[in-house]
Amino acid sequence: MPCSPDYDLVMDSPLGRLALRCSDRGLTALDYVTGEVPLRDPRNPLSSRAAAQLRHYFNDPAFIFDLPLDLAGTPFQQRIWSALCRIPSGEVLSYGGLARRQGSGPRAVGGACRANPLPVIVPCHRVIAADGSLCGYGGATRGAGIEIKSWLLAHEGVSVSSSCFVIPSGS
């Protein structure tokens, strides 16, 4: 399978192969792709910087991404994605908790998380169900879904079991 010409980087990670797209203004998408998509060295300074920051995060889960983002979405989605970036590594928030903070409903927050074009960098994996279950991990991604979300949370030090974990008090 030839590499999509619009990928600016395709790299291996602990989550499998990741592919990034950039615009002149910032990162636009991160996709989980199969091993059939060939690796691609960074095509520009931003994709090179993003690759370095992703590697840093995979070595140090407390790392905070500092990359320009160019995310296409509704004003509501933009607001939720911005709020996701403020949830610290190692912490989780319920869909309902995030919805209350944003004056919205949990399903709408879930929809915005599902539409997140930059998983990992915009950390929608830090949002969970009120009962502590992982729920889904959809977004505009391909891949192992719930296993990826579980891995990311465990990587950040959040205690997880196969489908549930304890929510720290105050979340």
Rounded to the nearest 10°, the torsion over CA 23, 76, 93, 110 is -90
Q: Residue 31's closest CA among 56, 3, 66? A: 3
Close Cβ partners of 77 (under 8 Å, ≥ 6 residues apart): 71, 112, 115
Cα distance between residue 110 and residue 115, in whole Å: 9
Residue type, position 57, single letter: Y
- Give catalytic status of residue 164 as yes or no: no
Residue of 3, 124, 135, 164 with catalytic role: 124
Give the catalytic positions in this structure. 124
